Structure 1
Amino acid sequence: MTPTAIDADAAYRAASGRDPRFDGRFFLGVTTTGIYCRPSCPARKPLRRNAVFFPSAAAAVAAGFRACKRCRPDSLPGSRHWDASGDLAARAVRAIRDGAVDELGVAGLARRLAVSERHLHRVLVAEVGASPVQLNRTRRAQTARTLVEQTELPLVDIAFAAGFGSVRQFNDVMLSEFGAPPSSFRRPVPSAGRVARAAADELGDDAPTADAAPTVVLRLRHRAPYDGLAMRAFQAAHAVPGMDLIDDGSFTTPVPAAHGPALATVDWAAGAEDHITVRIRPADIADLTGIVSTLRRWLDLDADPQLIIDALGADPIIGPLVGRRPGLRVPGAIDGGATALLTVIGQAVSLGAARVFAGRLVAALGTPVGDGGLRTFPTAQQVTDAGFEALRGIGLTSSRASALHRLASALADGLDVTPGADRAATRAALLALPGIGPWTADYITLRALGDPDTFVPDDLVLKKTLGASNARQASAIARAWSPWRGYAAMHLWTASAYLP
């Protein structure tokens, strides 16, 4: 779906799921009420025959519709920023969800989004009904409740892990958000553990914390069905030697965080129908909230599979594949920059060869993490500083090394490849780099930027599977699968036993 050509049926499917990833891409008008909304509006969705779609808020108003008072799709009526406000709000909410306020502050988030702090505050209050600080406070409270319910950490550690500045603030916010003190969410524990935990919980603001952050075990919940076997196979096939560790039933990988990389282990064997079990060893307990957000995005735990099944299940091409694997997800990115660089490394070579090159790069430039001999993937700045010859030294061709170095330089200079990025602008910036074509740009958009409607029409396997002779024909066939074309691509790749 593009602002200039909206597929009404695809837009209705997206709006039916209230998925905030589509906010700003179109607006929904209800003919029976004369009201228009954002796709994620919590109000009851109209029947298909009563729904019309617009590329902008201004277009909806020009057609005689007025703004919904629940989702507030209007920002500043009549201003030149009106059309873009919805997308700005959606990008800001995604960034806040991923911990941008904790990492950068509200001012830093505004700079990342290229707006003033005052304008960001005004747009979020108008569109979402809450300020950046309020949204982040709710995010912290929800994280804290999960930690209280699922771990034996002292409440003081949970307070700082969730990003609160003090235990007093933690208690006040939890009372405000949930109407109950944090301790009320504790699960019953044996008496021996209860005494030790109660002593730690009562220490208050000045309670000491351990020098090293503890290993935290969490159950990351998701909507069933979830195809854990397919996700596990994908991650195993893409494991980078020296960075990722595959053990019996588990997968360990570094996760970038503010105070240093953490080690996260997905315990596939301990999973269940409604959750995946992860063990997280952060450098600092304060990083835990952001790490959990990263892992949820990486494993695509927030998708609603029933929406995708409803949209694709009756299709003659994709429907049978969805029937066989109804819980298939699209793997995201732990680090958007690393995923982008790995995509360029893997251009036009086999997956095995790409892993060899990536392993050499990690061995040469990666930073040790933990005590198991694993290393992080090098940052864009490290790759840039290493230079062209160092990239040639890991076995890349001259053209591939040049493309990788250019991309690393662009990332180091601020090219945004995170879910909060402007997708169209990022894709255009990628295509402007020599050595990066449509396949690479689309694949990065799908995985690093998390766009569920991105197809990869230049992919050879997809074209062959669809019987298309060129990307234009593949795109035309895939149009019927919008707004879930990314999931359709994943079904086709999985059915072909191809893991791009």
Structure 2
Amino acid sequence: MPDHDVTLQPDACYLALKAKDARFDGRFFTGVTSTGIYCRPVCRVRTPRRENCRFFAHAAQAESAGFRPCLRCRPELAPRAQAWSIQDASATLAQQAAHLLDEPEAWGDESPSVEQVAARLGVSDRHLRRIFEAQLGVSPLQYLQTRRLLTAKQLLADTALPITQVALISGFASMRRFNAAFVQHYGLSPTQLRREGADDGETRTVKLGYRPPYDVRAMLGFFAARRIDGVELVDVERSRLGRTLAIEAQGRTHTGWLTATFDEPRTQVVLEVSEGLCEALPAVIRRVRALLDLDADPQAINAVLHASFPQGDGLRVPGAANGYELAVRAVLGQQITVAAARTLAQRLADRFGDPIETPVPALRRLFPRAEVLAAAEGDALGQLGIVRQRQAAIVAIAKAVAQGRLRLHGGAPLDTTVAALKEIPGIGDWTAQYIAMRALRWPDAFPASDVALHKALGVREAKHPAREAEAASTPWKPWRSYAVIRAWSSL
């Protein structure tokens, strides 16, 4: 059988495989016909012979062709492929559909169907199936099944969660279907796949891969400048950050803490999650990947931005562990310095955040819940130094989130969410674009009215600086969010 993705160049893939090149991790997978196993390009086993290798753009393609995931390099740890285009409509549709299937929070506690995804994208389910299979070589259901299996495989390997719980939070409706899928795809039962000696303490540790280059110090420095004491910790020297977190999953609110430590030699992040967040682990993993922008493709981004920003090849767009929290903090930061915004956020957390017990002294408080800020009195917010217009915007955001009218995560519909944000008094284009960049994970967001951006681009003295900045940004599409981060870093 030929390789499914005609854009892959088998000889180039084989060279990357021989070099164990982490820049290509997640961009393709290698199926070895002599073993029936598929691997990441960074797998440390002996390189197979060229004639025994088949190359696939997605893990689902490899599994559809009959290959099983490698138990050593573990394909579920690879950063996910992200392709963005402003020209190829078919590729864009397929990639957006895959993105929705990858995003657990896009569907709440429901299991997405092809019909639901098609409706979100404004096409018929028949058209979506046809385009998806033509672009990715597998059906949407095959892609979703592979994603569920790899999620379950990671939980089985890295945690001691009960197998029935693993099946549930991975998206399987019953243990019978879960066991049948494992046997059919992997030739093993979930019990056989589970590693002996999995951690059974009060925390769970999982590994998350990324593609180099990655400027770890710049990313941690960004978070350090905005850190809320008690809610977040940032240790630049130890390449570590942590925070408290509340997350909705399985119809309940789960609270706890997490830490993420960069292991740069292995191009991975070691994520430690408290017991209280374990039932929401797939969503937590997804949020941390978004927070640290671990799925970015530097090769594609640098091809567009390197000429304009040669010093920024390792920079990523900082995300958000909680989109609602990011939106509140964005409002607090309107037209003031980062230090002043941090002071206001600290006061807000100290006044309205719930205390939480953790073994990490620096983590002792949750960011204020939406329900709490939705009911906050103007006088209480005013005493913190928050001006009246921003008080109203914060309360409006909190009410919309608490009532389920506004969802702020990577699976939210971009256009309608941005429009809903702009309808809130006190939120203009700058704030909406900033939220889209960091919380909605839109790679082409561009806050054209940003004063620091005007300074970096040299248009601050122009008659219409926002218009000049917008015009200057055209060559940077579809990666303008990354261009913004690079421009800010140049200051």
Q: Distance in 2 between matches of 1:254 and 1:53?
A: 37
Given the alignment of the two structures, is residue 465 of structure 1 paired with residue 456 of structure 2, yes or no? Answer: yes
Given the alignment of the two structures, is residue 387 of structure 1 paired with residue 377 of structure 2, yes or no? Answer: yes
Distance 1:370 1:124, change over 3 A: farther
Unaligned runs of 5+ in 2: 1-24, 28-57, 62-84
Q: Distance in 2 between matches of 1:477 and 1:119?
A: 34
The counterpart of 1:141, out of the listed 149, 172, 179, is: 149
Answer with 255-264 or 351-360: which moved more. 255-264
1:31-110 to 2 correspondence within 5 Å? 86=93, 93-100=98-105, 103-106=108-111
| TM-score (norm. length: structure 1) | 0.69
State whether residues 297 and 333 of structure 1, in contact with CA within 8 Å, keep that contact through their aligned partners in structure 2. yes
Q: Distance in 1 between matches of 2:255 and 2:100?
A: 20
Answer with 165-174 or 362-371: which moved more. 165-174
Please list the CA deviations of residues 166-208 of structure 1 after superposition, one character each: whole Å capped at 9, or x if unmatched. 5544332222333443456556x6xxx5xxx7xx9xxxxxxxx
Identity %: 32
Superposition deviation, residue 331 in structure 1: 1.0
Distance 1:284 1:458, change over 3 A: closer
Q: Secondary structure at the match of 2:219?
A: helix
1:252-331 to 2 correspondence within 5 Å? 252-257=242-247, 258=249, 259=252, 260-268=254-262, 270-283=263-276, 285-313=278-306, 315=307, 317-319=308-310, 321-322=311-312, 326-331=313-318
Distance 1:409 1:224, change over 3 A: same
State the match for 2:386 in structure 1. 396
1:103-118 to 2 correspondence within 5 Å? 103-106=108-111
Aligned pair count reads 397
State the match for 1:239 in structure 2. 227
Given the alignment of the two structures, is residue 349 of structure 1 paired with residue 336 of structure 2, yes or no? Answer: yes
Q: Which AA in structure 1 matches 2:258?
A: A
1:350-389 to 2 correspondence within 5 Å? 350-371=337-358, 372=361, 374-389=364-379
Distance 1:132 1:475, change over 3 A: same
State the match for 1:456 in structure 2. 447
Unaligned runs of 5+ in 1: 1-16, 20-39, 44-51, 58-70, 74-85, 201-209
The counterpart of 1:172, out of the listed 180, 185, 207, is: 180
Q: Secondary structure at the match of 1:265?
A: strand
Q: Secondary structure at the match of 2:231?
A: coil
State the match for 2:475 in structure 1. 480
State whether residues 337 and 417 of structure 1, in contact with CA within 8 Å, keep that contact through their aligned partners in structure 2. yes
State whether residues 114 and 140 of structure 2, in contact with CA within 8 Å, keep that contact through their aligned partners in structure 1. no
Please list the CA deviations of residues 273-299 of structure 1 after superposition, one character each: whole Å capped at 9, or x if unmatched. 420111111415321111111111111
The counterpart of 1:181, out of the listed 186, 189, 204, is: 189
Q: Secondary structure at the match of 1:176?
A: helix
State the match for 2:422 in structure 1. 431
State whether residues 106 and 133 of structure 1, in contact with CA within 8 Å, keep that contact through their aligned partners in structure 2. no
Distance 1:263 1:491, change over 3 A: same
Give me the CA root mean square deviation: 3.8
State the match for 2:68 in structure 1. none
State whether residues 98 and 294 of structure 1, in contact with CA within 8 Å, keep that contact through their aligned partners in structure 2. no
Q: Distance in 1 between matches of 2:115 and 2:246?
A: 22
| TM-score (norm. length: structure 2) | 0.70
Superposition deviation, residue 114 in structure 1: 11
Q: Secondary structure at the match of 2:473?
A: helix
Distance 1:388 1:484, change over 3 A: same
Distance 1:53 1:302, change over 3 A: closer
